[in-house]
Amino acid sequence: MFFRFASIVILLAVMHIGCSEEQKNPIREYGDTLVDSLDKAETAALKINLRTIETAINRFEAEKGRLPENLGELNLANISIRDYDYDPDTGHVEIAVE
């Protein structure tokens, strides 16, 4: 009788430990890694484009003697200006917070 009770207790303990641990899902881990990599690549592209925009603002100011009223005046090809916040009074530009 004691052996049977002990076996049941051990079985329940093993089942509890097995259920409480989160099992690894290689497909989910791979997907999470891909999404994380994509996020990092997008952030890097935004930072690179930010430097390009800042250079264009400086060039515009040097050529025209004033800051652009908006980023549209810079005629930036292949850069989505909606991803950036621009202050025409200071010429400060930053990545827009989502």
- pLDDT (tens digit per residue) in 16-58: 555 545 678 888 888 889 889 999 999 999 999 999 999 999 9
**What is the rounded distance in angstroms from the CA atom of residue 74 to the CA atom of residue 94?**
15
- In this predicted structure, the answer to whether residue 5 has a pLDDT above a threshold of 90 is no
Higher pLDDT among residues 89 and 13, named by residue = 89
Q: Which residues contact 16 (CB under 8 A, 6 or more apart)?
A: none
User: pLDDT value at position 4?
Assistant: 52
- What's this model's pTM, rounded to 2 decimal places? 0.67
Burial (CB count <10 Å: 0-12, 13-18, 19+), residue 78: exposed
Q: Where are the domains of the chain?
A: 32-98
pLDDT score, position 8? 54
Which carries the bigger pLDDT value, residue 23 or residue 71? 71
